[in-house]
């Protein structure tokens, strides 16, 4: 079965980026010249996703505008002969009807945001992408979709033992290539209690049954409704694997990760690579 739909939860407050996120969505922060959310949408499209579902909240209308026509801008660019710029703003447009928005009325947690999209999903598995987990290199969701044969799947990576309290952490079972069986999942454990250093990052393929589990609205770490808690309740009922993706992930929800992403992505650009490298050499 093909994964056709993806949920993009963008309803969080982005408090770690205040004051930048007071009136602007965190997911619109640019890495080089593209907002985080656009990278996530492009990754989903590369994985064959056809329906793009955004779970928004207050102050998130810039995301809707970003994925819509800007007729005034386009006509000005046309009249000035800026055809490359017209192409840049037009080629990111999706087929009419393939983008939907659901409002999360309060930021009650990632699990709650995903649950808010339930009526648009129906009875099929769905991908979930967190835009602030930015992945450089091979598109992680495509790698996951290529390996997925059913059940639940999360993207995983090894983290420093001291960092387990920032992640959902996996109790690993058998390993088959890049796949790790998930035998347990705990949200943000202290390093002394962590079952491993295998962390979940923001790419998921989830079964529709997860929505029923989320509907109990049980809150977990930080008093929020956690997606990992709902997934952990599915263990034993359906196959569940972690997938060790090949790209490099940047935590763009943190200032350091965001700055590192900007440097790493800029170094991939032909026009920026050399001058940026020269400047980095000079200041180091």
In degrees, rounded to 5, the angle at the alpha carbon of residue 227 between the alpha carbons of residues 226 and 230 is 95
Nearer residue to ligand UTP within complex by CB, 77 or 113: 113
Q: Which residue of the chain is nearest ligand UTP when measured via CB? A: 12
Nearer residue to ligand UTP within complex by CB, 16 or 66: 16
Give the DSSP H or E segment for 184.
strand 179-187
CB of 194 to ligand UTP, least distance (A): 18
134 — phi, psi (to 5°)?
Answer: -100, 130
CB of 108 to ligand UTP, least distance (A): 5
CB of 14 to ligand UTP, least distance (A): 4
Strand partners, 136: 248
Q: Note whether 29 and 75 are within 8 A (CB).
A: no
Residue labelled with tokens 């790790």: 180
Nearer residue to ligand UTP within complex by CB, 132 or 234: 132
Nearer residue to ligand UTP within complex by CB, 29 or 179: 29
CA 283/CA 145 separation, integer angstroms: 42
Buried b (16+ CB within 10 A) or exposed e, 210-237: bbebbeeeeebeeebbbbbbbbbbbbee
Q: Which residues bind ligand UTP (CB under 6 A)?
A: 9-16, 26-27, 55, 104, 107-110, 112-113, 130-132, 253
CB of 283 to ligand UTP, least distance (A): 28
Nearer residue to ligand UTP within complex by CB, 77 or 251: 251
CB of 268 to ligand UTP, least distance (A): 23
Q: How many CB atoms sit inside 10 A of residue 34's CB?
A: 13
């Amino acid at each position: 079965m093909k994964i056709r739909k993806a949920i993009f939860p963008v309803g969080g407050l982005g408090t770690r980026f205040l004051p930048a996120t007071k009136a602007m969505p965190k997911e619109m922060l640019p890495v080089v010249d593209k907002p985080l959310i656009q990278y996530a949408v492009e990754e989903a499209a590369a994985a064959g996703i056809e329906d793009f579902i955004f779970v928004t909240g207050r102050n998130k209308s810039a995301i809707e505008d970003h994925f819509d026509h800007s007729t005034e801008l386009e006509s000005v660019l046309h009249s000035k002969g800026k055809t490359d710029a017209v192409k840049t703003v037009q080629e990111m447009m999706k087929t009419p009807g393939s983008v939907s928005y659901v409002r999360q009325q309060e930021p009650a947690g990632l699990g709650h945001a995903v649950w808010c999209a339930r009526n648009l999903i129906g009875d099929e598995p769905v991908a979930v992408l967190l835009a602030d987990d930015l992945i450089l290199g091979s598109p992680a969701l495509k790698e996951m979709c290529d390996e997925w044969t059913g059940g639940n799947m999360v993207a995983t990576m090894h983290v420093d033992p001291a960092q387990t309290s920032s992640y959902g952490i996996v109790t690993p079972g058998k390993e088959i290539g890049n796949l790790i069986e998930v035998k347990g999942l705990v949200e943000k454990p202290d390093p002394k209690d962590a079952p491993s250093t295998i962390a979940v990052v923001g790419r998921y393929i989830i079964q529709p049954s997860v929505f029923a589990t989320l509907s109990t609205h049980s809150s977990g770490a930080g008093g929020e409704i956690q997606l990992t808690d709902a997934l952990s309740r599915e263990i034993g009922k359906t196959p569940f694997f972690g997938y060790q993706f090949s790209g490099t992930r940047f935590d763009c929800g943190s200032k350091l990760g965001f700055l590192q992403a900007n440097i790493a992505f800029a170094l991939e650009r032909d026009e920026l690579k050399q001058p940026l490298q020269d400047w980095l050499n000079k200041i180091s």
